[in-house]
Structure 1
Amino acid sequence: MKHAFDLSGKVAAVSGSTRGIGRSIALGLAEAGADVALLQRSLSDTTLQEEIRQLGRKCEIIECDVENRQQVRNAVPETISRLGGLHIVVPCAGIQHRSPSVDFPEEDWDRVMQVNLKSVWLLCQQAGRHMVEQGYGKIITIGSVASFQGGFTVPAYAAAKGGIAQLTKALANEWAAHNVNVNALVPGYIDTDMNTALVSDPTRSVQISERIPAARWGTPDDFKGPAVFLASDAAAYVHGHLLAVDGGWLGR
């Protein structure tokens, strides 16, 4: 059974890989055997590239600011050109903006939707064209508990992550017959830069921890195993699924 989780010979592309969940997923895929394209804004941040290469894997940094639509469209062909193929795509880049809905700035709404939903759609579309033609592929989107719950003061984020859930299912419906698996990881409350304000709030942090059945916030490394599973042949018959990595939050 362990061979079903082996990603040797596979090429993965991961956005949002310079920190947080994206970084851990990219490293986890490499640890499982995959070569990795890091889709990132900064070409000078080579820390993760060096770490992956030390594992004996190929790793290339591809310039991809997810607010630049042309760079997003170029990411798939550039990955194929530089690493010789593409089998796994994880669009993990994301942003957050909090504001009461009555005052939520339109420009912040547009930016959140571009980064968290439209760039994901564009990257998935480019990957899907390649994967459908080759008859194999794994796409792992990143949802949120906000894919199921509205939250407070995060209308754009909730709308985008709700959209990710439905986009994941829609693409799975079309591409499953072509041996392309499209699924989502659904983070709960994770200790990352995006949640620094909540983690630092002594009252809210305790309230959140007490509501999580696992009695702790998640960490980026909690996503390594679930990502490898969805990227591997062990998940060959898993299509359109939203896999919660939330310490039991949604079941509470």
Structure 2
Amino acid sequence: MGAKTFLVAGGTSGLGLAVARLLVAEHRVAVLGDVPDEVAAVTDELGCVGVVCDVSSWQQVRDAFAEVVDRYATIDGVAACASVWAGGDLADLSPQHIRRAVEVNALGTTYLLKEALHHLRRQGYGNVVYVGAMAVTRARPGIPVYRATKSYGSSLVESLAEAQHSNRIKVMQLHPGPMPTRLQERVGDEFLDEIYAGAEQVAVEVVRLLQLAPDDLYVSGARVLRADGRW
């Protein structure tokens, strides 16, 4: 099939990093992250391109995509893995924490998909995979803000998939179960789930969707639920 170009937002840790690791052996990979030291560490480890980008900033997202396109001319697939954890009762969450979760999980996802589709439409093909959460499919006490922001992303993907009118541009979503990544640790929370999917396992499915060919039929808009025993 030849080497392709993939952009992984949130690719410095967790699922995003696992996706980048799977892709980099055979493809060109650009990793986006908002912490410069982490971006540098991943690019050194994988030998890929790294771009410092806070996805909650439209200007930074636009510039990041422009940098990748300027280097490689095309983008074959985009994995939207960037996310901020917001666990706990609404009453216990600070306004700053709520705002950041909305900025990254809702606005950031919107900016990523907006820019991704701009470039994919220009070239006439490509895949987008949004990483949601199993919690979207069933209400779970204790994570109202996180679930609401991921539900926003799921709804956005569904509408965008219907709007493409061509399966050459596929907009898909995958909802993994709880994964013991740094998502919770970054905000000072502990990972409490006893049943979970490993990031390396879920990454295989993300990569499969990213590599679907333009003429593979009937998958745009697909919602993949990776059942892991929790529900």
* Structure 1 residue 111, shift from structure 2 partner: 1.2
Which of these residues, 13, 16, 23, is aligned with residue 22 of structure 1? 16
> Is residue 220 from structure 1 mapped to residue 199 from structure 2 by the alignment?
yes
Partner of 1:247: 228
> Is residue 165 from structure 1 mapped to residue 146 from structure 2 by the alignment?
no
Secondary structure of the residue aligned to 1:177 is: coil
Q: Deviations over 1:185-219 (max 9, x none)?
A: 211011112245554x5xxx4xx43xxxxxxx221
Indicate how the Cα distance of structure 1 residues 77 and 226 shifts in structure 2: closer, same or farther if over 3 A, else same. same
Q: Which of the two has higher C-alpha Rg?
A: 1
Percent identity, aligned pairs only? 25
Partner of 2:127: 138
Q: Distance in 1 between matches of 2:165 and 2:202?
A: 23
Indicate conservation of the 8 Å contact 1:147/1:164, yes or no: no
Q: Deviations over 1:87-145 (max 9, x none)?
A: 11112111112232244433322211111121111111111011112110100111101
> Is residue 13 from structure 1 mapped to residue 7 from structure 2 by the alignment?
yes
Q: Distance in 2 between matches of 1:150 and 1:71?
A: 33
Partner of 1:212: none
Amino acid corresponding to residue 128 of structure 1 in structure 2:
L
Superposition map of 1:51-70 within 5 A: 51-53=45-47, 59-70=48-59
Shifted more, 171-180 versus 15-24: the winner is 171-180
* Structure 1 residue 76, shift from structure 2 partner: 1.3
* Structure 1 residue 11, shift from structure 2 partner: 0.8
Unaligned runs of 5+ in 1: 1-5, 54-58, 210-216
Amino acid corresponding to residue 225 of structure 2 in structure 1:
A
Partner of 1:98: 87
Q: Distance in 1 between matches of 2:12 and 2:227?
A: 22
Indicate conservation of the 8 Å contact 1:90/1:139, yes or no: yes
> Is residue 186 from structure 1 mapped to residue 175 from structure 2 by the alignment?
yes
Q: Distance in 2 between matches of 1:114 and 1:64?
A: 13
Indicate how the Cα distance of structure 1 residues 198 and 105 shifts in structure 2: closer, same or farther if over 3 A, else same. closer
Q: Distance in 2 between matches of 1:154 and 1:247?
A: 19
Q: CA RMSD in A?
A: 2.1
Indicate conservation of the 8 Å contact 1:66/1:72, yes or no: yes
Q: Structure 2-normalised TM-score?
A: 0.88
Which of these residues, 7, 32, 37, is aligned with residue 39 of structure 1? 32
Unaligned runs of 5+ in 2: none
| Paired residues, number | 225
Indicate conservation of the 8 Å contact 2:56/2:107, yes or no: no
Secondary structure of the residue aligned to 2:7 is: strand
Secondary structure of the residue aligned to 1:233 is: coil
Secondary structure of the residue aligned to 1:119 is: helix
